[in-house]
């Protein structure tokens, strides 16, 4: 009985550690999004390290890295509801990984993916209710001067959109390779414009999802295996 209780406590501690990873990523993701949304005008760009790491404020209504799922409200609603269901299921799956004794690597990857999905879900669910719009246009300042419009927090329900219709804030931009010459028009995807690598603008939540997925893809044989906890092993030896 003592060993069984110790094993159960060990599982609870592992799950709490996984939830701590989720919590820390959410805090970092949302803190940066709040800062960018309330201090940057739409399209503003600031160099962080040279020209290859920049903060570039954009918003999107679709998936990770600015991809879209149609422009209609129904497409946005479907995507947000899908995220909500996926995140809900994700917590149960993460708990099951811990209960089944899977290794730390798989649990960390699961926590990264779950945290990323939850981070963008928060934007989609609530940002339209608590933020004013970040439009392309400028507003008139003192003496008729034109000033870029920066969003601000509003009273709940008086933002730019409805519940489940918020836009996801993106800001991380890494144009590591940027050419001035135009790519020949016949080249797929990049033809007719300057070549930039890496071009997508993303956020911390997107990065967490990508890291979790890529590690699983490249190291799945090493990660996807059960690892019996020490308390259970001790119980078997005494049995």
Instruction: Examine the residue annotation and report whether 123 is marked as an active-site residue of this protein.
Output: no
Q: Tokens for 238? A: 């005494």
How much is the pLDDT for 163?
94
Asked if the structure places residue 62 within a domain, the reply is no
Full-model pTM: 0.82
- 189 in a structural domain: no
Helix/strand/coil (H/E/C) assignment for every residue in the chain:
CHHHHHHHHHHHHHHHHHHHHHHHHHHHHHHHHHHHHHHCCCCCEEEEECCCEEEEEEEECCCHHHCCCCCCHHHHHHHHHHHHHHHHHHHHHHHHHHHCCECHHHHHHHHHHHHHHHHHHHHHHHHHHHECCCCCCEEECHHHCEEECCCCECCCCCCCCCCCCCCEEEEEECCCEEEEEECCCCCCCCCCCEEEECCCEECHHHHHHHHHHHHHHHCHHHHCCECCCHHHHHHHHHC
Q: Is residue 80 part of a domain?
A: yes
Per the structure, how many domains does the chain have? 1
Domain-located, residue 20: yes
Q: What is the span of the domain harbouring residue 234?
A: 2-43+72-135+149-169+206-238
pLDDT digits (tens, 9 = 90+) for 38-97: 999 999 999 999 888 999 999 987 655 545 555 557 777 888 898 899 999 999 999 999
Kindly name the residue from 29, 99, 123, 206 that is annotated as catalytic.
Answer: 206
Contact partners, residue 158, CB within 8 Å, separation at least 6: 129
> How sure is the predictor about 233, in pLDDT bands with cuts at 50, 70 and 90?
very low
93-124 pLDDT, tens per residue? 999 999 988 889 999 999 999 999 999 999 99
Instruction: Answer yes or no: is 190 within a domain.
Output: no
Q: Is 14 inside a domain boundary?
A: yes
CB-based contacts of 95: which residues, under 8 Å, 6+ apart? 15
Q: Answer for the pair 149, 134: CB distance below 8 angstroms, yes or no.
A: yes
Catalytic choice (29, 73, 123, 170): 170
* pLDDT winner (highest mean) among 98-102, 142-146, 147-151, 207-211: 207-211
In a domain, 182, yes or no: no
C-alpha 200/C-alpha 230 separation (Å) is 44
Task: Tell me, yes or no, if 170 is annotated catalytic.
Answer: yes
Average model confidence (pLDDT) across the chain: 83
CA distances to 24, 89, 237 from 172, rounded to whole Å, are 18, 28, 52
């Amino acid at each position: 009985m003592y060993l069984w209780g110790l094993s159960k406590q060990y599982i609870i501690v592992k799950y709490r550690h996984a939830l701590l990873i989720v919590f820390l990523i959410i805090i970092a993701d949302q803190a940066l999004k709040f800062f960018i949304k309330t201090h940057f005008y739409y399209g503003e760009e600031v160099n962080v390290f040279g020209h290859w790491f920049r903060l570039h404020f954009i918003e999107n209504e679709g998936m990770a890295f600015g991809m879209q799922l149609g422009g209609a409200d129904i497409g946005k609603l479907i995507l947000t509801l899908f995220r909500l269901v996926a995140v809900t299921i994700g917590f149960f799956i993460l708990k099951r990984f811990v209960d089944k004794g899977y290794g730390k690597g798989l649990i960390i990857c699961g926590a990264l993916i779950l945290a990323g999905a939850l981070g963008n879900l928060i934007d989609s669910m609530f940002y339209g209710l608590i933020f004013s719009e970040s439009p392309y246009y400028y507003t008139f300042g003192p003496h008729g001067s034109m000033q870029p419009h920066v969003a601000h927090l509003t009273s709940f329900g008086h933002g730019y959109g409805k519940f489940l219709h918020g836009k996801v804030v993106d800001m991380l931009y890494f144009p590591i390779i940027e050419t001035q010459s135009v790519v020949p028009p016949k080249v797929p995807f990049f033809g007719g414009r300057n070549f930039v690598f890496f071009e997508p603008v993303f956020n911390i939540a997107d990065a967490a999802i990508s890291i979790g997925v890529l590690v699983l893809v490249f190291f799945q044989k090493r990660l996807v295996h059960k690892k019996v906890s020490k308390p259970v092993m001790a119980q078997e030896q005494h049995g």
